[in-house]
Protein backbone atom coordinates (compact mmCIF):
# COMPACT_ATOMS: atom_id res chain seq x y z
CA UNK A 1 0.00 0.00 0.00
CA UNK A 2 1.37 3.44 -0.98
CA UNK A 3 1.68 6.11 1.67
CA UNK A 4 -0.66 9.03 1.12
CA UNK A 5 0.85 12.37 0.25
CA UNK A 6 -0.65 15.41 1.91
CA UNK A 7 -1.53 18.41 -0.19
CA UNK A 8 0.31 21.68 0.39
CA UNK A 9 -2.90 23.07 1.89
CA UNK A 10 -3.12 20.25 4.41
CA UNK A 11 0.55 20.74 5.32
CA UNK A 12 -0.14 24.44 5.95
CA UNK A 13 -3.13 23.58 8.15
CA UNK A 14 -1.18 20.94 10.07
CA UNK A 15 1.70 23.33 10.75
CA UNK A 16 -0.66 26.13 11.77
CA UNK A 17 -2.22 23.84 14.39
CA UNK A 18 1.16 23.79 16.17
CA UNK A 19 1.06 27.53 17.02
CA UNK A 20 0.24 27.76 20.73
CA UNK A 21 -2.20 30.20 22.31
CA UNK A 22 -0.55 33.51 23.05
CA UNK A 23 1.89 33.23 20.14
CA UNK A 24 1.87 34.13 16.44
CA UNK A 25 3.94 33.26 13.43
CA UNK A 26 4.17 34.74 9.95
CA UNK A 27 3.00 33.59 6.56
CA UNK A 28 6.63 33.60 5.40
CA UNK A 29 7.86 31.47 8.30
CA UNK A 30 5.21 28.86 7.52
CA UNK A 31 6.23 28.87 3.85
CA UNK A 32 9.93 28.50 4.68
CA UNK A 33 9.20 25.78 7.22
CA UNK A 34 7.40 23.84 4.49
CA UNK A 35 10.35 24.19 2.11
CA UNK A 36 8.72 26.79 -0.14
CA UNK A 37 10.31 30.09 0.94
CA UNK A 38 8.59 32.17 -1.74
CA UNK A 39 5.11 30.82 -1.02
CA UNK A 40 4.08 33.25 1.74
CA UNK A 41 1.20 34.61 -0.33
CA UNK A 42 0.06 31.09 -1.18
CA UNK A 43 0.04 30.30 2.53
CA UNK A 44 -2.11 33.40 3.07
CA UNK A 45 -4.58 32.32 0.38
CA UNK A 46 -4.78 28.81 1.87
CA UNK A 47 -5.43 30.17 5.36
CA UNK A 48 -8.00 32.56 3.88
CA UNK A 49 -9.91 29.50 2.68
CA UNK A 50 -9.55 27.70 6.02
CA UNK A 51 -12.83 25.81 6.58
CA UNK A 52 -12.19 25.43 10.34
CA UNK A 53 -10.84 28.77 11.62
CA UNK A 54 -10.67 27.84 15.31
CA UNK A 55 -9.49 24.23 14.89
CA UNK A 56 -6.82 25.54 12.53
CA UNK A 57 -5.94 28.77 14.35
CA UNK A 58 -5.22 30.93 11.32
CA UNK A 59 -5.82 34.03 13.47
CA UNK A 60 -2.34 33.33 14.91
CA UNK A 61 -0.63 34.03 11.57
CA UNK A 62 0.40 37.62 10.81
CA UNK A 63 2.47 39.50 8.25
CA UNK A 64 6.25 39.68 8.59
CA UNK A 65 6.04 43.27 9.88
CA UNK A 66 3.68 42.23 12.69
CA UNK A 67 0.54 43.71 11.15
CA UNK A 68 -2.44 41.42 11.34
CA UNK A 69 -3.06 40.73 7.66
CA UNK A 70 -6.49 39.36 6.87
CA UNK A 71 -9.02 37.10 8.49
CA UNK A 72 -11.82 35.41 6.59
CA UNK A 73 -13.72 34.19 9.65
CA UNK A 74 -16.90 35.85 10.85
CA UNK A 75 -16.25 39.46 11.82
CA UNK A 76 -13.10 39.74 9.72
CA UNK A 77 -10.00 41.47 11.04
CA UNK A 78 -11.84 42.72 14.14
CA UNK A 79 -12.42 39.12 15.21
CA UNK A 80 -8.75 38.29 14.62
CA UNK A 81 -7.80 41.26 16.80
CA UNK A 82 -10.19 40.11 19.55
CA UNK A 83 -9.09 36.45 19.41
CA UNK A 84 -5.42 37.38 19.72
CA UNK A 85 -6.17 39.79 22.56
CA UNK A 86 -8.17 37.11 24.38
CA UNK A 87 -5.12 34.82 24.09
CA UNK A 88 -2.85 37.46 25.61
CA UNK A 89 -1.19 38.73 22.44
CA UNK A 90 -0.71 42.48 22.71
CA UNK A 91 -1.44 44.55 19.63
CA UNK A 92 -0.14 48.11 19.61
CA UNK A 93 -0.50 50.48 16.68
CA UNK A 94 -2.08 47.62 14.71
CA UNK A 95 1.04 45.44 15.16
CA UNK A 96 2.10 42.45 17.19
CA UNK A 97 5.54 42.75 18.77
CA UNK A 98 7.22 39.81 17.07
CA UNK A 99 10.21 40.00 19.41
CA UNK A 100 7.82 39.06 22.22
CA UNK A 101 5.12 36.86 20.65
CA UNK A 102 6.76 35.12 17.67
CA UNK A 103 6.56 31.32 17.54
CA UNK A 104 8.88 29.42 15.22
CA UNK A 105 9.73 26.25 17.15
CA UNK A 106 7.73 23.92 14.95
CA UNK A 107 8.06 20.17 15.21
CA UNK A 108 9.26 18.26 12.17
CA UNK A 109 7.43 18.98 8.93
CA UNK A 110 3.92 17.49 9.27
Known catalytic residue at 58: yes
From the list 19, 29, 30, 58, the catalytic residue is 58
Angle in degrees, CA 74, 81, 7, rounded to 5: 60
- Residue 78 CA to chain centroid, in angstroms? 16
User: What is the distance in angstroms between the CA of the first residue and the CA of the last residue of the chain?
Assistant: 20
Nearest Cα to 22, choosing from 84, 98, 110? 84
Phi/psi at 96 (5° precision): -95, 135
Catalytic center residues: 58
Amino acid sequence: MRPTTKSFSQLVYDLTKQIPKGKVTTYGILARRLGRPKAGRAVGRILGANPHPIVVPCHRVVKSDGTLGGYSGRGGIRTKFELLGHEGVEIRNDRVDLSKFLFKDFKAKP
